[in-house]
Structure 1
Amino acid sequence: MTEPIGDEEAFVLGDGEFERFREFFYRRTGIQFSPAKRYFVDKRVGACVRDSGEDGFASWFASIRLGIRPELTQNMINQLTVNETYFLREDYQFDSLLNSVLPAVMSRRARTGENGPVRILSLPCSTGEEPYSVALRLLQEWPLIDSVDVEIHAADIDTAVLGHAQHGVYGPRSLQRVPPSWLERHFTPTGGGFHQISAGIRSAITFSRVNVTDPEQMRVFEKFDVIFCRNMLIYFDELSSRRAAENLYGALRPGGYLFLGHSESMSRISPIFTPCRLPDGLVYQRPTTGATP
C-alpha cells in the first residue's frame, strides 16, 4: 500500500503497485524500470500524484489507464524520463560528422544526383543542447554551410524538455564547453549566468514529440542522412531496443548514418546496420541495398 501523499519522503509504492506501474510505463514508452530504481520511481510517481490532485495512487493510476485525464499521462512521462545533457557532449562524434560523415553524404549526393537538403535528426533531443551543438559546429566549421541547404530536426517524448529547447535559454553547466567566441556570437546574456541561443538558430530547428518505439509515430520521420540517437537505448530492454533500431533504420535514407552513445552498441541489438569505424569513432550505416528490418 502507498503511504499518505502529504509527505513527499513517505510516498512508497507497494510491490504490486510498482509491478503494475512499471509494466504500464514500459508499454507506453519502452522504458523498463528495474527493482533497483524503486526509490526513483517512488519519488517521481509521488510527485505526479500530488500534482494531479487525485486522492492517491489508485485514483491517479486509474485516471491514466482509462484515459480520463490525458494530461496526467504526459506529465508522468515528463517526470520519469531522464534528461542529462550539455553542449558539445561527446564532441568527437561531431568531429566524425564534419570530417567523415558529411563528406561521404556529399559524395553520395554527387554520385546519385540527389537533390534536396541534407537532413539531420537529433532524437531524443532533451532540452536542445545536442541539435543546437550540431548547428553550431556546422555554422562555425563546415566549409559548405553557405552553399548547402541543411535541415535539423529534433524530437523527444518529453514535452517539458521540448518547451525548454524551443526557448533556448541555458545556464553555466550546459554552456561549460562552448568557446567564449561562440557564446558571444551566437548567444545573448539573459542574466544570472544564463544565455539564450540566437533566434536565427532556434528558428532553423524543428522540434516535435515522438516515442521512438512507436512505429506509427516514427513514420513521419524519413529520408534522414544522419541521426543522433545517443544515450537512450541503455534505458531499453532487448525488445524495445530492437523496435527503436527498426524505426531508426526506417527514418534513414539508404546509406544514412546513425550515431549512438559511447556506451551503446547496435551490434548487440540488431544486425540491420553496418558498423563503420571512422578515424574519430564508430558510426552505424543503413546499407544501400539488401538489408530489411
Structure 2
Amino acid sequence: MADIPAEGLPPADYAALCDFLRARTGLSFTEAKRYFVDRRIAARMAAVGVATLRDYLNVLRFQASGEELQRLVNLMTVNETYFFREKYQLDCLVRSVLDELARNRRPGSRLRIWSAGCATGEEPYSIAIMLLEQWSRVDEYEIEILASDIDSAVLERAREGIYDERALQGLPAHLRSKYFQPVRGALAADGARWRIIEELRESVDFSLVNIADPRQVQAFRGIDVIFCRNLLIYFDDLGRREAAGMFYDALAPNGFICLGHSESMSRMSSLFVPRRFPDAILYQKPAEGGAS
C-alpha cells in the first residue's frame, strides 16, 4: 500500500516529485495541483507495489524500459480538445500564411506543418481538412503534417481516428459527412461515434515526442508552421523559454508558430517577430540576417 498521508505528500516529497517531472517532461505542477497530483501518484505507487515516494522515484529513474514514467505522464496530462478549435488560426493559415510561404517556393516543393501537443488528433486532422477545403494550391505542394504528443495513450486514439459528438461539435455537417464515417457496433455502444476517413488518417504522421528532451525533437527541422496551442501553459517560465528556443531551432527561416489565445511569445522569448494578419496574430522566425 502506498504510504501517502491523507493530507497528501509532505512538502519536501511533493517538491522533489515536481522537480523530477519538470526536469524529465517540462510539465510544471504548482501547489494548486496538489490534489490532482497526490491522487495519481498514490494510484501508481499502489500499482507498482512500492510504499514510499523515494522508492517510486527510483523506479521512474532507473527502469530501463521507461514504461512506468510513460504511464505516469499519461495520467498527468489533460487532453481535452475538439475539431476546429480556435478556428481563426486555421483561417489565418489557409488565407494568409501558406500563400506567403509558397510565394518563394517552386510547385512540388515541401511544406511542413507540426502540431505539437496534438492530443487525440483533432488539431492535425482539422489542419488537413482546412487545407483540402480552403487552400486552392494544396495540390501544387508536397505537404507534410506532423503531429506529436508526450502521451502514448492519446496518440493511439489519434491514429485510430474515432470521435464522439462532443469532439465534432464545431464541424459543419457537410464536412462531417464528407470526411467521417459513422461507427457501428460495440465501439458505438455508449453513444454516436464517427471515424475519420482512411485517406486523412494516413495524411498525418503521429509520433511520441517529449518536447523537453532535445534528443527527441532533433527530427523536427525545417518546419514551416508550428501549432503549439495551450501546451506551454503547463510549463513554468523557464520551461516556456526553453521550449521557445527549441521551436525556434525547429522552424525554417520565415516559419511561423501559433500559440493559444491566452499565450504570448513576447513573455517567453525575443527571438520571434509578431505578425498581425487579418485573422490572427502569429509569431515568425526571421529570415537569416534579420526580420522579413
TM norm. shorter chain > 0.5: yes
Amino acid of the structure 1 residue aligned with 2:252: R
Conserved in 2, the CA contact under 8 Å of 1:118 and 1:148?
yes
* CA distances 1:206-265 after superposition (whole Å, capped 9, x unpaired): 011112122221111011111101111112112111111111111111011110001000
Equivalent residue for 1:175, pick from 168, 175, 178 = 168
Q: Secondary structure at the match of 2:176?
A: helix
Whether 1:273 and 2:272 are equivalent positions in the alignment is yes
Question: How far did 1:291 drift?
Answer: 6.1
**Distance in 1, Cα, partners of 2:147 & 2:290:** 26
Is the 8 Å Cα contact of residues 121 and 154 (structure 1) preserved in structure 2?
Answer: yes
1:164 is paired with a residue whose SS is helix
Structure 1 residue 158 and structure 2 residue 154: aligned?
Answer: no
Contact 2:108–2:142 (Cα < 8 Å) also in 1: no
For residues 231 and 184 of structure 1, the distance between their equivalents in structure 2, rounded to whole angstroms, comes to 29
User: Are residues 1:95 and 2:88 paired?
Assistant: no
Q: Pick which of 263-272 and 49-58 moved more.
A: 49-58
Contact 2:83–2:169, Cα closer than 8 Å, also in 1: yes
Q: Deviations over 1:141-187 (max 9, x none)?
A: 21112332211000111111111111111111111111111111111
Comparing 12-21 with 34-43, which one deviates more in the overlay? 12-21
3-state DSSP class of the match of 1:189? strand
Closer/same/farther in 2, CA of residues 47 and 108 from structure 1, 3 Å limit: farther
Q: 1:242 to 1:290 in 2, by over 3 A?
A: farther
Question: Which AA in structure 2 matches 1:126?
Answer: A
Deviations for 1:54-81, whole angstroms, at most 9, x for unmatched residues? 4454432221123366210111111112
Structure 1 range deviating more: 47-56 or 73-82: 47-56
Aligned equivalents of 1:186 and 1:69: distance in 2?
38
- Aligned positions of 1:6-155 closer than 5 A: 10=6, 12-55=8-51, 57-67=53-63, 70-109=66-105, 113=106, 116-155=109-148
CA contact (8 A) 1:83 1:127 kept: yes
Question: For the Cα contact (< 8 Å) 2:223–2:255, is it kept in 1?
Answer: yes
Give the residue type in structure 2 aligned to 1:161: V
Q: Separation in 2 of the partners of 1:81 and 1:95?
A: 28
Q: 1: CA distance between counterparts of 2:109 and 2:65?
A: 42
1:197 corresponds to which residue? 196
Matched, 1:184 2:215: no
Label 1:291 to 1:62 Cα distance change in 2 as closer, same or farther (>3 A).
Answer: farther
Match of 1:212?
A: 211
Q: In 2, Cα distance between the equivalents of 1:185 and 1:50?
A: 46
Local SS of the residue matching 1:122: strand
In the TM superposition, residue 3 of structure 1 has moved relative to its aligned partner by 4.8
Unaligned 5+ segments in structure 1 are: none
Report the Cα distance in structure 2 between the residues aligned to 1:69 and 1:216, rounded to whole angstroms: 17
Residues 114 and 236 (structure 1), Cα distance of their counterparts in 2 relative to 1, 3 Å cut: farther
Alpha-carbon distance in 2 for matches of 1:102, 1:218: 23
Q: 1:15 to 1:94 in 2, by over 3 A?
A: same
Give the equivalent residue in structure 2 for 1:232: 231
* Structure 2 portions without partners, runs of 5+: none
* Aligned residues with identical type, % of pairs: 43
Please give the alpha-carbon distance, in whole angstroms, between the structure 1 residues aligned to 2:153 and 2:274: 34
SS of match in other structure, 2:138: coil
Q: How far 1:115 sits from its partner (Å)? A: 5.6
* Residue identity matched to 1:214: D
Deviant stretches of 4+, over 6 Å: none
Give me the whole-angstrom Cα distance separating, in 2, the residues matched to 1:156 and 1:279: 30
Q: CA RMSD in A?
A: 2.1
Q: In the alignment, what sits opposite 1:286? A: 285
Partners of 1:247 and 1:68 in 2: how far apart?
27
Give the aligned residue type for 1:125: C
Quote how far apart the aligned CAs of 1:38 are: 0.4
